[in-house]
Amino acid sequence: MESHKTVAFFLNRVDCNDGITSHCETLIRGLRNAGWKVVLITGKVGFDDNSLKRLQALKELSEEWIVFDSFNSIFLSLTSFFKILNAINYHRIQVFHAHGYSMLFLTFALKIFTGIKCVATSHLLNYIRLEEIRENKYLKFKHFLFQTYLKVLSPKIFIAISSAIEQWLIQDIGIPDNKIKKIFNGIDNKYFYPPSDRERQEARAKLQITEQDFVVTLVGRLQWNKGHKILIDAANHIKRSNPKYHFKYIFAGSGDQREEIEKYAFENEENCQTFLFLGYVNEPRNVYWASDVIVLPSQAEGFALVIVESMTCGIVPIRTPAAGAYDQIEDGQNGFIIPFDDLEALSSRLLQLYENTNLRLQMVENALKYSANKFTIESMTLGTISAYEEAIAK
């Protein structure tokens, strides 16, 4: 393989506040350290004052960033299409990486003109059980169309970022297992690491949290499907049954449903003392360092990078069995997996960790050991490069 190595990332849109963009930034850093160059080809870019740092990082890390404000991955204008072709020729791009299956039509069309192979990653699994599909004609037809779409426009390699996505591709979609590489998302463990006593104290002091406070954190976009409602309900339930317990709750993240979620949270005026909404944070490590438990009771995920980040910072995770859960957590050993929408289960696990310090400390130790080598930027980068090289060689 020649020494010149360049990949084009295709994304339908970029939101500098979300986990997909965070993952892409980390992966680009890893690829650059391994000698690869990355060209970004994306739709509209969303950012605010808080996420300018990530926006600037992506600009600096990429060789070129081509942005289309009205990006339609199927009906792209001829001008836009030839602009991409010119960039491919100029940068001598060798492989495409589609982040999201909506980009497969475009990469398929570009392959016809260039011969360049594609690798594809989906960052979210909205799983519908086969039983539901069989019983609903509309879902059955929709599933058939999606199966056909993925098979006809199939990339050379599918990257599955969790076992759940891997199983879904094989069992539900019918993709041969030799076209799938399971590569867990990785994090930079030079940045994410357990805090010293001083670092923990400083992180808590910035948020006006005392040592008596037991801090439960939800890091994610402020959208109802992330599970904010069930955590708020669990907090109210715990407060009613154990009024003397010192719980504090941190919500970190931005989103278009922030106003609704905050309104729901503060229907109980006493929650003004226990709930803290931070918005998007540039330095999530500081939030993890100030916390004791991270909760992610979401309805759908692809992998949930925040769980791995927090585990590496010495926090016990509690999450629902959306995609990635069983790759990240050995239930009862390094965290807990609770059923979807189960208020009692979430409340019970939070109280268990509050009341049993030894259990929590043992889980922290187990989480650190489990995540130390499994979810690193190095392993993710090596796996991704292997997928690129295999796609190019086919």
How does pLDDT run across 82-93, given as a tens digit for each residue? 999 999 999 999
pLDDT band at 136 (very low <50, low <70, confident <90, very high): confident
pLDDT (0 to 100) of residue 130: 54
List residues bridging with 39 in a β-sheet.
Answer: 8, 64
Residue 155 above 50 pLDDT? yes
Predicted local distance difference test score (pLDDT) of residue 2: 52
Tell me which CATH code domain 197-371 carries.
3.40.50.2000
**What integer pLDDT is reported at residue 1 of this predicted model?**
43
pLDDT tens digits for 257-282? Answer: 999 999 999 998 889 999 999 999 98
Tell me the angle at which helices 357-371 and 343-355 cross, rounded to the nearest 10 degrees.
100
Q: What is the pLDDT of residue 153?
A: 94
Cα 319 from chain centroid? 13
**Phi, psi dihedral angles at 154 (to 5 degrees):** -55, 130
Q: Is the pTM of this model over 0.85?
A: yes
* For the chain, domain boundaries: 6-186+376-393, 197-371
Indicate if 197-371 has the same CATH topology as 6-186+376-393: yes
Average pLDDT, the chain: 93
Alpha-carbon distances of 244 from 118, 293, 345, 347, rounded to whole Å: 57, 19, 21, 15
Least confident span in 113-117, 178-182, 281-285, 363-367? 281-285
pLDDT, tens only, 322-364: 999 999 999 999 999 999 999 999 999 999 999 999 999 999 9
Alpha helix segments (H runs only) across the chain: 19-33, 52-61, 78-91, 104-114, 130-135, 137-152, 163-167, 197-206, 228-241, 258-265, 284-289, 305-312, 325-328, 343-355, 357-371, 377-393
Mean pLDDT on 247-255: 95
Asked whether residue 73 carries a pLDDT value surpassing 80, the answer given is: no
Fold of 6-186+376-393: Rossmann fold (3.40.50)
Question: Cα torsion at 319, 165, 47, 271 (round to 10°)?
Answer: -10
Is the pLDDT at 128 greater than 70, yes or no? no
